[in-house]
Amino acid sequence: MSDKILEIQGVSKFFGSVIALQNVSMFVRPGEVTCLLGDNGAGKSTLIKTLAGVHKPSEGKYFFEGNETLFESPREALNAGIATVYQDLAMIPLMSIWRNFFLGSEPLQKNGLFDVENAKRITREEMAKMGIDIRDPDQPVGTLSGGERQSVAIARAVYFGAKVLILDEPTAALGVKQAGVVLRYIVEARNRGIGVIFITHNPHHAYPVGDHFVILKRGQILGDYAKEEVPIDHLIQMMAGGADLEQLQHELAEATGRGS
Amino acid sequence: MTDERVRQMSLANRLLTRPEFGAFLALVVVWVFFAIVAFDNNFVSWVTTAAILNRAAPLGILAVAVALLMIAGEFDLSIGSIVGFAGMAIMLLITPAEAGGFGLPVWMAVLIALIITLLTGFFNGVLVMATRLPSFIITLGSLFIFRGLAVAIPRLMTNRTQLGGFEDYDSGGWAAAFATKIEFGGARFDIAIIWWIVIAAIATIVLLKTHIGNWIFGTGGDANAARNVGVPVAKLKIALFMVTALAAFTVALIQATQLNSADSLRGTLKEFEAIIAVVVGGTLLTGGYGSVLGPVFGALIFAMVQQGIIITGVDGDWFRVFVGGILVLAVIFNNFIRQRASKR
Domains belonging to chain B, first-starting first, are 19-29+42-342 (1.10.3470)
CA-wise closest residue to B273 among B214, B232, B216, B320 = B320
| Contact status, residue B274 vs residue B83, Cβ threshold 8 Å | no
Half-sphere exposure of A27 (CA within 13 A, CB side): 16
pLDDT digits (tens, 9 = 90+) for B230-265: 889 999 999 999 999 999 999 999 999 999 999 999
Q: Could you give the 3-state DSSP secondary structure of residue A202? A: coil
Query: Which ipTM value was assigned to this complex?
Result: 0.82
pLDDT at residue A245, as a whole number: 63
pLDDT at residue A84, as a whole number: 87
- Among positive and negative, which fits the CA dihedral A237, A239, A242, A246? negative
Distance (Å, whole) CA B169 – CA B96: 10
Tell me: pLDDT of B338 over 70.
Answer: no
CB contact under 8 A, B218 and A89: no
pLDDT tens digits in sequence order for chain A, 260 residues long: 458 899 999 999 999 888 889 999 999 999 999 999 888 778 888 898 899 888 889 999 999 998 998 888 887 888 889 988 887 666 888 899 999 999 988 999 989 899 999 999 999 888 887 777 777 888 888 888 777 888 888 888 888 888 999 998 888 877 787 788 888 888 988 998 999 999 988 888 888 899 999 988 888 888 888 888 888 888 887 776 655 666 777 788 887 776 55
Average pLDDT, chain B: 90
B18 CA to chain A: closest CA distance, Å?
Answer: 11
CB contact under 8 A, A132 and B1: yes
Phi and psi at B181, nearest 5°, equal: -105, 135
CATH class (in words) of the domain with range A6-229? alpha beta
pLDDT at residue B343, as a whole number: 56
| Contact status, residue B102 vs residue B169, Cβ threshold 8 Å | no
Residue ranges per structural domain of chain A: 6-229
Average pLDDT, chain A: 85
Q: Which residues contact B193 (CB under 8 A, 6 or more apart)?
A: B53, B54, B56, B57
pLDDT at residue A16, as a whole number: 87
pLDDT digits (tens, 9 = 90+) for B99-144: 888 999 999 999 999 999 999 999 999 999 999 999 999 999 999 9
CB contact under 8 A, A116 and B209: yes
Distance (Å, whole) CA B120 – CA B204: 24
> Which chain A residues contact residue B1 at CB under 8 A?
131-133
CB contact under 8 A, A113 and B205: yes
| Contact status, residue B143 vs residue B83, Cβ threshold 8 Å | no
Task: Give me the residue from B211, B231, B289 closest to A108, CB to CB.
Answer: B211
B230 CA to chain A: closest CA distance, Å?
Answer: 5
Distance (Å, whole) CA A37 – CA A49: 15
pLDDT digits (tens, 9 = 90+) for A81-121: 998 888 766 688 889 999 999 998 899 998 989 999 999 99
B127 CA to chain A: closest CA distance, Å?
Answer: 25
CB contact under 8 A, A102 and B217: no
Tell me the percentage of chain B whose pLDDT exceeds 90.
Answer: 68
